[in-house]
Amino acid sequence: MDILELELDKEVDLNPEPQGELTLQVAALPKDTNQDRDILGGWVVSQMDLAAEVTARKIADGRVATVAIHQLTFIRPIEVGDMVCCYTNVTSIGSSSIHIDVEVWVRPAAGQHSHKVTEGTFVFVAIDDNRRTRRIR
């Protein structure tokens, strides 16, 4: 085990089961890759943000905006054809903000066992039609 693996073991929850509610599933396609056919990290973050936004909208009962992403850690790569599954878990709700942990697990196209590939915490605020912060009811 190298130093990077030891550091990841300290900082990343490597639970064998997803935590939270399955909120989004999407296949990783060739269009989501760089020139070396690796799935882009930015594409993965976008899927995580979409999943967290679905959850935040339900809680806020309306419009929300992403204001922060904390502790995003990539554990394993995603391959073309993998089914990307985003699980969300609300960790706190403030007067206008919502913190949501998002885990991404993949079901490989090759039929191997599912495994976690990344996790992070997304923070949203409820906003009104003028894009001003509003209280959550």
Question: Is residue 1's pLDDT more than 70?
Answer: no
The CB density around residue 90, as the number of other CB atoms within 10 Å, is: 16
Q: What are the tens digits of pLDDT across the range 54-104?
A: 999 999 999 999 999 998 989 999 999 999 999 999 999 999 999 999 999
What CATH architecture applies to the domain 20-126?
Roll (3.10)
Beta-carbon-side half-sphere exposure of residue 93 (alpha carbons within 13 Å): 14
Task: Tell me the pLDDT band of 11, cut-offs 50, 70 and 90.
Answer: low
**Looking at the predicted structure, is the pLDDT value of residue 122 above 90?**
yes
pLDDT digits (tens, 9 = 90+) for 22-44: 999 999 999 999 988 889 999 99
This prediction's pTM: 0.86
Would you state the pLDDT for residue 3? Answer: 47
Q: Where are the domains of the chain?
A: 20-126
CA–CA separation, 127 and 65 (whole Å): 7
Cβ distance 37 to 82 under 8 Å? Answer: no
